[in-house]
Structure 1
Amino acid sequence: MPRRIVPNLVAGIASVFLLGACGSSNDTGTAPAVVAPAATTSSAPAPSASASAPGDAGGSPGTTASVTATSVSGAGIVVTDDKGLALYRYDKDEPNPSKWTCKGACVKTWIPVIVQDSVGTSGVAQSLLGTVHRNGQKQLTLAGWPLYRYVGDTAAGQLNGQGKDGEWYAVTPSGGKSTATVTPAG
């Protein structure tokens, strides 16, 4: 029995490397967006978040299975992920067609929101959701804006990234940027 496990394990690892190489060749973030509404339900739990995207610094990006319009004290209604963490948009990105510009060191602070095949919604119009290709994966967009998490938000209800560098803003359910002035926690 042990003799079969090792060859199968080696074949499985080789397959992962080959598949990874196929999806990362020339993905620069300038390719046209593929914006299609996501399905409305998901019963699978989302994997945990990581601080980098494939091809940017190694590791797996954070994924989400749902987005929700959430009232955050002092900030109004913003969009959060399935863990209650605020989602942000970046003024340097482009919404039509969707184009991401945060890469390299940027994704260590601003984690792209990666989705699988379906995203549930609550208080966010399904028709406003889409994706843009990012290093062989799908980054979630809202009204065309690629979405991110801020590494400084460690609990639901925090908006520590709001207004950072005058370019990062919590996203509203319509895809706009929150105009709230928030005092960072700590």
Structure 2
Amino acid sequence: MKTGHTLKAVAVPLLLLTLTACGAGDGGSSSDGGDSGNGGYGAPPATGDGDSGGGASGEAPGLRTADTRLGTIVVDDDGMVLYQFDSDDRGSGTSTCEGQCAQNWPSVPGGETPDVDGVSGEVGTITGVDGRSQLTLNGWPLYYYAGDQAPGDLSGQGVGDVWWVLTPEGEPIRD
């Protein structure tokens, strides 16, 4: 029993430290010289069909809307929540999420024009940091969050005060 308490005493602060570091950086405008929105969660979410969650197939997932506690937001065909990163410059045609950030916030793959249902913002693509096509919405590069394990999970919302879900018009919801 004593070992279990010791493990908890170490694990809980470590987890909190990891969560507070997630997204703390904002591409250089932070006073602490953060880490470009890195999270501590490992692999991208598994979505079952290979069309989303990391871009292995290079095929663009469809974009849909879902009603959540935050309002109506944009998700992929499988219901996985999509995010934008405040360190990206809207409409710049580039992503700033690379290295560990890209492992924790995998880009939404682009490719052929995706099927869109309920999304009114302009859908486009850029060349992501990995050289592959990445979907954009209203000029924002789109990302998954590796901490989201199931459709509708919103655990990436507000991470580091720089990661946000998007409205169907492509506007960040900063709640």
Matches within 5 A, 1:172-183: 172-180=167-175
Once residues 138 and 172 of structure 2 are traced to their aligned partners in structure 1, the CA distance between those partners, rounded to angstroms, is: 11
Of 163, 167, 183, 2:158 maps to 163
Contact 1:140 1:147 in 2 (8 A): yes
Contact 1:62 1:113 in 2 (8 A): no
**AA partner of residue 66 (structure 2):** T
**AA partner of residue 154 (structure 1):** Q
TM-score under structure 2 normalisation? 0.66
Once residues 151 and 59 of structure 2 are traced to their aligned partners in structure 1, the CA distance between those partners, rounded to angstroms, is: 16
Q: CA RMSD in A?
A: 2.2
Q: Percent identity?
A: 34
**Structure 1 or 2: larger strand share?**
1
Pair 1:88 & 2:83 matched: yes
Moved over 4 A (4+): 48-51
Once residues 141 and 61 of structure 1 are traced to their aligned partners in structure 2, the CA distance between those partners, rounded to angstroms, is: 17
Tell me the secondary structure at the aligned position of residue 172 of structure 2.
coil
Tell me the secondary structure at the aligned position of residue 79 of structure 1.
strand
Deviations 1:115-149 (A, max 9, x none): 22120011112x60000012332100001000000
What is aligned with 2:112? Answer: 117
Once residues 149 and 77 of structure 1 are traced to their aligned partners in structure 2, the CA distance between those partners, rounded to angstroms, is: 17
Pair 1:141 & 2:144 matched: no
**AA partner of residue 123 (structure 2):** L
Pick closer, same or farther for the CA change 1:88–1:80 going to 2, 3 Å.
same
Pick closer, same or farther for the CA change 1:79–1:172 going to 2, 3 Å.
same
TM-score under structure 1 normalisation? 0.62
Tell me the secondary structure at the aligned position of residue 125 of structure 2.
strand
Pair 1:47 & 2:50 matched: yes
Contact 1:90 1:169 in 2 (8 A): yes
Once residues 59 and 110 of structure 2 are traced to their aligned partners in structure 1, the CA distance between those partners, rounded to angstroms, is: 5
Once residues 58 and 158 of structure 2 are traced to their aligned partners in structure 1, the CA distance between those partners, rounded to angstroms, is: 22
Tell me the secondary structure at the aligned position of residue 78 of structure 2.
coil
Contact 2:104 2:145 in 1 (8 A): yes
**AA partner of residue 106 (structure 1):** C
Of 104, 111, 123, 1:129 maps to 123
Of 62, 65, 68, 1:69 maps to 65
Deviation at 1:65, TM superposition (A): 2.3
Once residues 165 and 143 of structure 1 are traced to their aligned partners in structure 2, the CA distance between those partners, rounded to angstroms, is: 22
Aligned residues between the structures: 127
Contact 2:106 2:145 in 1 (8 A): yes
Contact 1:65 1:118 in 2 (8 A): no
Deviation at 1:63, TM superposition (A): 5.1
Pick closer, same or farther for the CA change 1:89–1:113 going to 2, 3 Å.
same
Show structure 2 runs of 5+ residues with no match: 1-47
**AA partner of residue 129 (structure 1):** V
Computing the radius of gyration over CA atoms, which structure comes out larger, 1 or 2? 1
Deviation at 1:153, TM superposition (A): 0.7
